[in-house]
Structure 1
Amino acid sequence: MAAFGRHKAQRLARPDGSRRGGLDERAAPVVRLLNGRARFCTTSSCAGRIVLAQGSTAERDRSPPSRCRFNRFSRSQDAGIQKQNCTWLLVTHETCDKGDVMTALEKATGDVVLKFEPFVLHVQCQELQDAQLLHSVAVDSGFRNSGITVGRGGKIMMAVRSTHCLEVPLCHKGKLMVSEEYIEFLIHVANQKMEENIKRINRFYERLESALNAAVSANSSSSQETGKNRSVYVHRRKRKTMQEQGVRTSPEDHNAESEPQDGAESSLAIFAEIMIAD
């Protein structure tokens, strides 16, 4: 447990490696909620995005959106971003319109695809049961492509993912291969997916918060019950030890187990015990 805490502190102390150096606005609440708990540490995130990617390998570029904890982009500042062997002509975490896409396509000189990539989050968990809780909440919230991996060193990672992606070629060697009407239709589909993505993120946050609070309450109740059971055990053990040593126990020592007795009979029993002792 201490080792996980140290690793988490070191990880979160690193400078943010994303191009914007900060959290996606919609991913921020989930990331902060998890990092605020001792048993979780986020390692990468993206709130979801619509991308125009250009390059010979653009259609095969399915690498995670960021290798860092956070990722944030705007449609105006990300034009022309280089990513591995492709260039992003347009990137936005919001819905987009036809004008934005057509303006970006004017810069096309190679193969271009329009992509929608949904919310993704990678979390390192302290115990397998923590990852299982997170996985259950993610699946129930609509992120049904989520999964858990355990490394050789025991590192437990939970990935929150969904399958409602979109990837469609638009240009070949800079030449537009589809009609503007079709582009308008694709933008409508991508925007619908973005809206659904936002709903799932909000649902995930609400259910995750409830699940984490419930887990804390359950652990607290379990600790109290364990303490109570230990107290009863110690009491019984103490009485047994006294009996084995020939030490007479008082009636109060039997209250935890003995059946209630009639008041008169109890008084007579105590009186007889005193007489025998004399």
Structure 2
Amino acid sequence: MRNAMQHTQTVHASTALVTAGAEGDRLVGSDRVLAVLKELARHPDGVTLDELTRAIGSPKPTVHRALAALRRAGLAGQDPGGRYLLGDEFLRMAFAHHEARPEHVRVRPLLEALSARFGETAHYAVLDGREVVHRAKADPPTGAVRLTSTVGGRNPAHATGVGKALLAHELGTLDAVRRWIGETPLERRTPRTLCTAEELHAELRATRERGHALDDQENETGVNCLALPVYGTSPRAPSGAVSVSALAYRTPLRTLVDAVEEIRELLGPLKEPF
């Protein structure tokens, strides 16, 4: 009798593992709702149910139920043409949270000062794996040509000044750089992007030595930047990095390098040497 019960438990356990494995390959429950929410964020002009169904890879009734749940919470809505988009409640929460973040409150005046000083775009970004995420941005005065970067936007860390400013603190050896790259090759955004472990290691070492990071049209042709780490939460580890991102024809990289001490002074209490 005991052996029979043990056999039955083993079968049930095996079945549960198979079911869990199967569900791991497809979206279930709340994961599906979140996937729909993230897909809505990719379509500021709205998206149809058919388009959502194809993008999510779930049956139409299932996606429709997810949308109904999001609409009840105010996180999704429909325009007069029937296209689905993010709801006003989602936008309210996102903007209220973003504006109230302590780091944003402290960094925003700095970005505005940098943008006004150089007539270029200033960013604050944090490291997230192999990418940087823009947490805040200040554009130059109305009328000037502006960059298309957005708050919440992502770029490869190895190709950006803010990314290299932060990686310089985390990857101190060639082996560390190789482990960080792993098996997935680094993306080449422009002909100038540093894509090998040796190139990136040498640049991170140079970044530590000079105390600031550079992006010499490595992420986007025609755009360069100078970046410095900021210490908003700890005196030892940077919470993020600030950059002045400039159109190369208007503000050459040399101009930014020559003004690095002025930029450092503008950081005030947020600055800390490498």
TM-score by length of 1: 0.23
More helix by share: 2
TM-score by length of 2: 0.24
